Amino acid sequence: MMDKPRRVCPACGFVYFTDPKVGVGVLVVQGEEVLLVRRLMNPERGKWSLPAGFLDHGEDPQETAAREVWEETHLRVAIDGLVDVYYNPPAGAGGASVFILYYGHVVDGELQAGDDADAAAFFHLNALPELAFRSTQEAIARWQTRVPPP
């Protein structure tokens, strides 16, 4: 393993770690349709993504995933399993992130956009809108072809 330069306080020796942000999301599928939200904010404003958001300190990733679906779609979901974990390298001024994606299914609620989404809808796999984020694109492509994670 190669040595990486680290920011270190010259007075006390404290090492400042630039940990990546952790995002979580849910791939919610009903029949041949997938749940997507249209982003109100950058990055990728106006494009569609899976419901997702950042993990809060002390929060369980599965709870975060279900919370984000609720905040962005007003649907309650149950988490059924792990799809995959993605690494998003740093881009522009933003730092790197790790994205944990779960499978889930709707248990309650009425579809309505909320929080940082201005639209929420189920889309047929043959009629997808413009998608944001490599992780969303890869997860949906895998679902379309029914390829299991590596």
**Number of domain units in the chain:** 1
Evaluate whether 32 touches 3 at the Cβ level (below 8 Å): no
pLDDT at 143 over 90: no
With respect to residue 70, please indicate whether it lies within any of the assigned structural domains. Answer: yes
Report the mean per-residue pLDDT for the chain.
Answer: 88
Q: Specify the CATH number for the domain of residue 113.
A: 3.90.79.10
With respect to residue 1, please indicate whether it lies within any of the assigned structural domains. Answer: no
With respect to residue 117, please indicate whether it lies within any of the assigned structural domains. Answer: yes
Residue-wise pLDDT tens digits, 93-114: 565 589 999 999 999 999 999 9
With respect to residue 86, please indicate whether it lies within any of the assigned structural domains. Answer: yes
Count the alpha carbons within 13 Å of 148 in the hemisphere toward its beta carbon: 2
With respect to residue 91, please indicate whether it lies within any of the assigned structural domains. Answer: yes
The torsion defined by the Cα of 31, 111, 78 and 48, in degrees rounded to 10, comes to 70
d(CA 44, CA 133): 8
Evaluate whether 119 touches 113 at the Cβ level (below 8 Å): yes
With respect to residue 66, please indicate whether it lies within any of the assigned structural domains. Answer: yes
> pLDDT band at 22, cuts 50/70/90?
very high
DSSP string for 19-84:
PPEEEEEEEEEETTEEEEEEESSSSSTTSEE-SEEEPPTT--HHHHHHHHHHHHHSEEEEEEEEEE
With respect to residue 12, please indicate whether it lies within any of the assigned structural domains. Answer: no
Domain that holds residue 36: 19-145
pTM score, two decimals? 0.84
With respect to residue 10, please indicate whether it lies within any of the assigned structural domains. Answer: no
